[in-house]
Amino acid sequence: MKLFQLLLLFVCGFSAYGQSGSEILLFDLKIKKNKIMLSNPKNITNHPGYDNQPGFNRTEPVLYYSSFNDDGRSDIKSYNYQTGETSSVTQTPEREYSPTHTPDNAYLSCIIQRDNGAQDLGKYPLAGGDPYTLVDNLIVGYHVWTDNSHLAMFILGEPNTLHYLRLPTKEDTVLAQNIGRSLHQIPGERAISFIQKNSATNWEIKKLDTETMLISTIAPTLPSREDICWTPDGKIISSDGTKLFVFDPKKGKSWKEIPLASGAELLKGVSRLAINSKGDKLAVVVAQ
């Protein structure tokens, strides 16, 4: 591996050690026509250190996330928001990040950071067992599935690039450069969104149509903010760090602040966001 790649792995992979801790808040979410309401925030991690990168199970009331253990290594944990139970999904010598429930509902795919410098994409069977390695020839930072056989990936490099991988043929296509970390499937469409960083201050939410492979612009991000998530009815939620905002691509006007029934004082250093498939829970990562 080139010296540059090794240095990049050290900076990106281990940057969380130098960060202040983070927690995950879980809000009740209500969507009624053009109104979004958030209420009843609960700190579901309440654990010193790094708890981040939330992702929901597609069919069960479970949220997955990455959490540092006492040795400073990241494992995947799960939180059942019906029972309130927290469980360990992985306890390995490796470091796992970005847990993502696969479209077939059988696996959790994730970034596996290895001690030899590799940063692979793999998947763990939810029923238990050893992980399968899907990508081991690239430095994978983030990923999103479009179906059981195709996915988009944020690949670390100079610059960071958007790759589209067809697993049956291993065909890997580079589609964009200078992208952000937020990759999402767009509800109701055969498309994904990604963040295009055109300059230091000009960032846009882009759409990749996975049938035509054409890229179009959806909207500007909030200033210098790359973390978003999609509601089931096609709205986008983001944060400026202390407040939450919504944008409706169908109306294409402007970002609007989301009123909170409670918990506004808990929103500090907001970063990653995730919404469950039913659209009634919002996970928000905040500074500890």
pLDDT digits (tens, 9 = 90+) for 238-267: 999 999 999 999 998 899 999 999 999 999
Q: Who has greater pLDDT, 9 or 165?
A: 165
95 phi/psi in degrees, rounded to 5 = -125, 125
Burial of 179-206, coded b for 16+ CB within 10 Å and e otherwise, reads: bbbbbbbbeeeebbbbbbbeeeeebebb
- Segment 55-66 shows an average pLDDT of 98
Give Cα separations from 19 to 14, 23, 109, 118 (angstroms). Answer: 10, 12, 25, 22
Pair 105, 92: CB distance under 8 Å: no
How does DSSP assign 45-88, residue by residue? ---SS-EEEEEE-SSSSEEEEEEE-TTS-EEEEEEETTTTEEEE
Total tally of structural domains belonging to the chain: 1
Mean predicted confidence (pLDDT) in 66-81? 94
Least confident of 12-26, 101-115, 116-130, 228-242: 12-26
Rg (CA), the chain: 18
- β-partners of residue 121 are 111, 135
The one-letter amino acid at 207: K
Give residue 20's pLDDT band: very low, low, confident or very high (50, 70, 90): low
CATH code, domain with 244 = 2.120.10.30
pLDDT exceeds 80 at position 274: yes
| Owning domain of residue 140 | 3-287
Tell which wins on pLDDT, 16 or 68: 68
Q: Express each pLDDT in 162-210 by its tens digit.
A: 999 999 999 999 999 999 999 999 999 999 999 999 999 999 999 999 9
Beta bridge partners of 75: 67
Please give the share of the chain, as a percent, with pLDDT higher than 70. 93
